[in-house]
Amino acid sequence: MSDGHSWHSDVALEEGRPAYLPRGLKRVPRGVDELATEHLVLNMGPQHPSTHGVLHVLIELDGEEVISAEASLGYLHRGIEKLAESRRYHQVATLLDRADYVSGLHTETAFALATEKLAGIEVPWRASWLRSLAMELNRYASHLVWLGTFGMDAGAMAPFLYIMRDREMILDILEEWCGSRMMFNYVRPGGVFADIPAGLDAKIRAWLRVADSYLDDNDALLGGNEIFQARIRGTGLIDAATALAFGMTGGCLRASGVDYDLRRDVPYCAYGELDFEVPLGVNGDNLDRYTVRVGEMRQCLRLIRQLVDGVPEGDFTAKVPKVFRPPAGESYAAVESPRGELGIHIVSDGGLTPYRMRLRSPAYFNLAIVDEALAGGLVADAIVTLGSLDIVLGEIDR
Amino acid sequence: MWGLGVLKGFGITIKNMFRPVITVQYPEQRLPIPERARWAVHAVFNEDGTPKCTACLICVKECPDHVLRVESSTRPEGGKHIDTYVYELGACMMCGLCVTACPYDAIEMSHEYELATRDHSDLTRMLLFDVDAASPRRTPREDAAPAPTGTEAADA
């Protein structure tokens, strides 16, 4: 006889024993709460597709509700900082491409700026301009990856495919320019590796003519969808004070309403000459992070238009000896990467290679908020919130 | 009105169905490769078939991943002889630093991109084998960086 509770229908329950009690017990012992539930610890990752790489998040659940979350890192650690200590200054860029593999040019430029500060190299204006143009193209490509995967985290498949197709156009431009789709190795201390190829500006302009309408379409398809809006409004709240306390930067910080953008506040390369706005959020929820990043993409197109129109004449690199030794000392330079303040700190002992190189990874600090942002929400929202932080594990684990 | 955005999204999806196809049928159709694209390193030869390489070893010192190995000997009548020039394709990341550093344009980043092999040993390539090295006395390339000399080369 089965009462529908036992897994084995041929095992009859003892007379009078409730189905949830162990064999031999007829009633709940005194002092035990028969309705008590247990928390469940869920291992999300490191092979979970929604963690954008090999991130392992330990989530403590009470039913569907997240009680606490903890990120466990290091699955993609390649020792880039240590390897840089045995590379000469112009060889380090090859490693840094692989740190933040979605926007390699920003890491390269941060390293070049730090080296130039250390060695006192004057960069030609054209080189700075070309760096800015390449970085903005790369930023747009990086934001497109984020936009697509963020939609996919919330269950929207079609925008991802359209967005990846749009991104391919930028990668084609960058391949023609830098020689590689993602591992550019383009920015060197003193300038850039090669000038912009003839005819590429026409290709960039041709892309700019359609980029706006593509972005409008993707924004309408994803952000205009009421179901998607309902998913992301009011979830993953991070207030400005918490964001600052955790050292968040970039779009995640601006979504919380803190007006801080290195491109405007600490201008580097050609950004001091350019005219752009910094979109800001109000509440710091997932919707704000979405609107801030999409707003940033529109500003990005505006910047690329200005940059491609005003490429100045001049040399694309300063005269830097292949084997050079910067003086002993240290320097720090930071750029606004698509994820936030990406800083490189170099300590030199006057030798051929850096004595120590440290990478201040913005996504690492943005990810640290994971407990604050996920706790109190639902599991489904946890995935969306994690996606909204725009993490790249290559840069976090280094 | 609630739901208008969803309807608009359907419209965009339908619009996307009529956009031209950007994918190609790969083995039959191929996209052109840009001039600067960096793939497997090849040796460059003169018109008479002799290699341009002078066995100066600048590329070997320049490679961050140590994938190049040149073994050379001195000929009895003078000049260098390249016994082997080995290239570990499997460990190469195609950064192009060796090609930039070469003062004699003796190697190039080719456009050979189909690099999968059936055998792991095929990933170790012999770029040059048992040939006389070119004489380094010819004028190096104009824009080439000066070769490291003295203490700097020893440190590197």
Q: What is the 3-state secondary structure (H, E, C) of A221-287?
A: HHCCCHHHHHHHCCCCCCCHHHHHHCCCCCHHHHHCCCCCCHHHHCCCCCHHHCCCCCCCCCCCCHH
Query: What's the pLDDT at A145?
Result: 92
Q: In chain A, which residues have their Cβ closer than 8 Å to the Cβ of B22?
A: 165, 168
Asked if A351 and B155 come within 8 Å (Cβ–Cβ), the reply is: yes
Query: What's the pLDDT at B150?
Result: 44
Asked if B13 and A221 come within 8 Å (Cβ–Cβ), the reply is: yes
Query: What's the pLDDT at B138?
Result: 57
Look at residue A153 and tell me if it is in a domain: yes
How confident is the prediction for chain A on average, in pLDDT? 86
> Which domains, from first to last, does chain B contain?
47-114+122-134 (3.30.70.3270)
Query: What's the pLDDT at A27?
Result: 73
CB-nearest partner of B152 from A158, A172, A323? A323
Mean per-residue pLDDT for A234-242?
Answer: 88
Q: Give the residue with greater pLDDT, A77 vs B149.
A: A77
Assign A296 a pLDDT band (cuts: 50, 70, 90). very high
Residue B148 CA to residue A88 CA, distance in Å, equals 13
A353 touches chain B (CB under 8 A): no
| Domain with A140 in it | 80-373+380-397
A68 touches chain B (CB under 8 A): no
Mean per-residue pLDDT for A71-82?
Answer: 89
Residue A28 CA to residue A319 CA, distance in Å, equals 83
Same domain, A68 and A150: no
Assign A35 a pLDDT band (cuts: 50, 70, 90). low
Q: In chain B, which residues have their Cβ closer than 8 Å to the Cβ of A226?
A: 2-6
* Boundary residue ending a domain (A50, A72, A94): A72
> Is 90 exceeded by the pLDDT of residue A233?
no
Mean per-residue pLDDT for A373-378?
Answer: 86
> Is 60 exceeded by the pLDDT of residue A4?
no
Look at residue A198 and tell me if it is in a domain: yes
Same domain, A215 and A299: yes
Same domain, A156 and A192: yes
User: Please, which residues 115-144 of chain B have a Cβ atom closer than 8 Å to chain A?
Assistant: none
Look at residue A1 and tell me if it is in a domain: no
Assign A144 a pLDDT band (cuts: 50, 70, 90). very high
Query: What's the pLDDT at A93?
Result: 87
SS3 label, residue A332:
strand
B151 touches chain A (CB under 8 A): no
Asked if B156 and A323 come within 8 Å (Cβ–Cβ), the reply is: yes
> Is 60 exceeded by the pLDDT of residue A1?
no
Structure confidence by residue, pLDDT tens digits, A151-173: 888 888 888 889 998 899 999 99
Sign, Cα dihedral of A88, A90, A93, A94: negative
The alpha carbon of residue B76 is apart from the nearest alpha carbon of chain A, in Å, by 33
Structure confidence by residue, pLDDT tens digits, A97-126: 888 888 889 999 999 999 999 888 889 999
Residue B124 CA to residue B121 CA, distance in Å, equals 6
Report the interhelical angle of A379-388 vs A286-309 (nearest 10°): 20
Residue of B nearest to A217 (CA): B12
Structure confidence by residue, pLDDT tens digits, B115-142: 888 999 888 988 888 888 777 765 555 5
Query: What's the pLDDT at B144?
Result: 56
Same domain, A68 and A87: no
Same domain, A21 and A90: no
B109 touches chain A (CB under 8 A): yes
Asked if B6 and A194 come within 8 Å (Cβ–Cβ), the reply is: no
Look at residue A97 and tell me if it is in a domain: yes
> Is 70 exceeded by the pLDDT of residue A6?
no
Same domain, A52 and A160: no
Look at residue A24 and tell me if it is in a domain: yes
Question: Residue A257: what are its φ and ψ, rounded to 5°?
Answer: 100, 5
Q: In chain A, which residues have their Cβ closer than 8 Å to the Cβ of B68?
A: none
Assign A316 a pLDDT band (cuts: 50, 70, 90). confident
Same domain, A165 and A258: yes
Asked if B36 and A179 come within 8 Å (Cβ–Cβ), the reply is: yes
B17 touches chain A (CB under 8 A): no
The reported pTM is: 0.84
User: Please, which residues 193-252 of chain A have a Cβ atom closer than 8 Å to chain B?
Assistant: 193-194, 197, 217, 220-221, 224-227, 229
- Percent of chain A at pLDDT exceeding 90: 29
Asked if A321 and B145 come within 8 Å (Cβ–Cβ), the reply is: yes
- Percent of chain B at pLDDT exceeding 90: 7
Query: What's the pLDDT at B9?
Result: 85
* Boundary residue ending a domain (A72, A89, A109): A72
Q: In chain B, which residues have their Cβ closer than 8 Å to the Cβ of A87?
A: 64
Same domain, A146 and A61: no
Query: What's the pLDDT at B143?
Result: 57
Asked if A94 and B148 come within 8 Å (Cβ–Cβ), the reply is: no
Query: What's the pLDDT at A112?
Result: 92
How far, CA to CA in Å, does B24 sit from each of A170, A358, B30, B32? 18, 43, 7, 11
Q: In chain B, which residues have their Cβ closer than 8 Å to the Cβ of A229?
A: 5
Look at residue A25 and tell me if it is in a domain: yes
Q: For A83-97, B20-34, B70-84, which range has the lowest pLDDT when averaged over its residues? A: B70-84
Query: Domain total for chain A?
Result: 2
The tokens of A154 are what?
């919330």
**Could you tell me the CATH number of the domain that includes residue A103?**
1.10.645.10
Asked if A94 and B13 come within 8 Å (Cβ–Cβ), the reply is: no
Query: What's the pLDDT at A143?
Result: 93
How confident is the prediction for chain B on average, in pLDDT? 82
Same domain, A24 and A60: yes
> Is 60 exceeded by the pLDDT of residue A338?
yes
SS3 label, residue A366:
helix
Same domain, A144 and A51: no
CB-nearest partner of B12 from A178, A217, A322? A217
Asked if B93 and A183 come within 8 Å (Cβ–Cβ), the reply is: yes
Q: Give the residue with greater pLDDT, B154 vs A98.
A: A98
Q: In chain A, which residues have their Cβ closer than 8 Å to the Cβ of B3?
A: 226
Assign B153 a pLDDT band (cuts: 50, 70, 90). very low
Mean per-residue pLDDT for A351-379?
Answer: 89
Lookup result for tokens 């460990």:
B91
Beta strands in chain B (DSSP E): 41-43, 68-74, 80-88, 107-109, 124-132
Assign B149 a pLDDT band (cuts: 50, 70, 90). very low
A94 touches chain B (CB under 8 A): yes
CB-nearest partner of B145 from A172, A183, A322? A322
Q: In chain B, which residues have their Cβ closer than 8 Å to the Cβ of A230?
A: none
Look at residue A177 and tell me if it is in a domain: yes
Query: What's the pLDDT at A2?
Result: 44
Look at residue A269 and tell me if it is in a domain: yes
> Is 80 exceeded by the pLDDT of residue A339?
yes
Mean per-residue pLDDT for A39-46?
Answer: 83
Cis-peptide into B27, omega within 30 deg: no
B33: region left, alpha or beta (phi > 0 left; psi from -120 to 50 alpha): beta
Same domain, A148 and A87: yes
Question: Helices (DSSP H) in A73-199: which residue ranges?
Answer: 80-84, 92-97, 104-119, 125-153, 158-178
Same domain, A39 and A89: no
Cβ atoms < 10 Å from Cβ of A52: 22
* Boundary residue ending a domain (A72, A102, A119): A72
Q: In chain A, which residues have their Cβ closer than 8 Å to the Cβ of B97?
A: 90-91, 94, 185
